[in-house]
Amino acid sequence: MKISSSCIFTDIPTELPEELCQTLLTKPNVRIERIVSKGHCSAEHDWYDQNQDEWVLLLQGRARLAFTNADSIELNPGDYLLIPAHCKHRVDWTSPDTETVWLAIHLFAAEA
């Protein structure tokens, strides 16, 4: 089998009218995504409430996540965190000046 690599910072469209979300790998219980934002954020009262844990690593750009307990977290390149299942959160802000590239790893609970 021929093994090859890809670069996570390439193939970003010049125009990003909407946030770009692409699945890089799907396995049982795991989905690895690249998300590219440029000034995009969640609507004001639009909270993500996910059934699965999500591990997030900011690779490029800048972003801010907000949580329902009024906490917010600023993210710079290299910052990572685990967002537990059902921890409501929204993307409060992403840099309008540059593409913000996220790695998101969705961790689905193993079936009982």
Residues lying near a copy of itself in the complex (CB under 8 A) are found at: 1-10, 24-25, 27-30, 32, 53, 55, 57, 59, 67, 71, 73, 75-84, 87, 89, 103, 105, 107, 109-111
Q: Could you give the C-alpha distances from 1 to 4, 28, 65, in angstroms and in order?
A: 10, 22, 40
Q: Which is nearer to a copy of itself, 17 or 99 (CB)?
A: 99
What residue has token string 């009218």? 17
Establish how many alpha carbons lie within 13 A of residue 99's alpha carbon, considering only the half-sphere containing its beta carbon: 20
Q: Name the residue nearer to a copy of itself (CB basis): 21 or 81.
A: 81
Name the amino acid, one letter, at 39. Answer: G
Q: Look at residues 19, 81, 102, 88 and name the one whose alpha carbon lies nearest to residue 50.
A: 88
Give least dist CB 36 to a copy of itself, A.
Answer: 13
Q: Measured from the CB atom, is 17 or 98 closer to a copy of itself?
A: 98
Q: How far is the CB of 99 from a copy of itself (least distance, A)?
A: 12
Q: How far is the CB of 4 from a copy of itself (least distance, A)?
A: 7
Is the Cβ–Cβ distance between 39 and 100 less than 8 Å?
no
